């Protein structure tokens, strides 16, 4: 268990190292935008896999000619996991859109820092 965790930590560190090297000036907005963009790009792939799992379970359930209850249970479980996966992807995409709207991360708006007027300015 510990070896697997260490391997995963090294993989994650290796994949995120270029982000740290090339991020000379990093703000919270750029970090959030990068993470949200990655989630948006990965979510169609995950949704397609969940949909494939659902239909694979449906095919296993329909074409179960032997009539074994354990095979039907496996197929039913696969369909449930597929539906839950699709639900999770749609929920995560909803949270991503909400965060983008909250922090103006859609790329259309820019954040302007507040300006303090100087009354003693000539």
72 pLDDT more than 80: yes
Instruction: For residue 66, name the pLDDT band (cuts at 50, 70, 90).
Output: confident
Angular region, 99: left φ>0, alpha ψ -120 to 50, beta rest: alpha
Residue pair 100/106 in contact (Cβ under 8 Å)? The answer is yes
- Residue with the bigger pLDDT between 84 and 114: it is 84
Mean pLDDT score of the chain, rounded to an integer? Answer: 80
Long-range contacts of 99-104 (CB under 8 A, 24+ apart): 99/32, 99/36, 100/36, 103/29, 103/32
pLDDT at 48 over 60: yes
* Residue in this structure with the two tokens 């959030």, named with its chain if needed: 32
Exposure letters 26-38 (e unless 16+ CB within 10 A, then b): eeeeeebbeebee
Could you state, in order of their start, the residue ranges of all structural domains in the chain?
A: 46-103
Tens-digit pLDDT profile for residues 9-18: 777 777 776 6
Query: Which pLDDT does position 17 carry in this prediction?
Result: 66
Confidence check: pLDDT of 88 > 90: yes
Which of 74, 49, 50 lies closest to 63 in space, CA to CA? 74
Residues 81 and 51: beta-carbon distance below 8 Å: no
Q: pTM of this prediction?
A: 0.61
């Amino acid at each position: 268990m510990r070896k697997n965790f260490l391997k995963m930590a090294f993989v994650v560190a290796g994949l995120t190292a270029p982000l740290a090297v090339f991020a000379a000036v990093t703000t919270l907005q750029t970090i959030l935008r990068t993470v949200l963009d990655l989630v948006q790009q990965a979510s169609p792939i995950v949704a397609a896999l969940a949909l494939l799992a659902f239909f694979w379970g449906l095919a296993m359930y329909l074409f179960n000619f032997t009539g074994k209850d354990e095979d039907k249970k496996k197929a039913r479980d696969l369909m449930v996991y597929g539906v839950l996966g699709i639900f999770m992807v749609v929920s995560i995409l909803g949270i991503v859109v909400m965060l983008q709207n909250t922090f103006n991360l859609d790329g259309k708006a820019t954040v302007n820092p507040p300006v303090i007027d100087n009354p003693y300015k000539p």
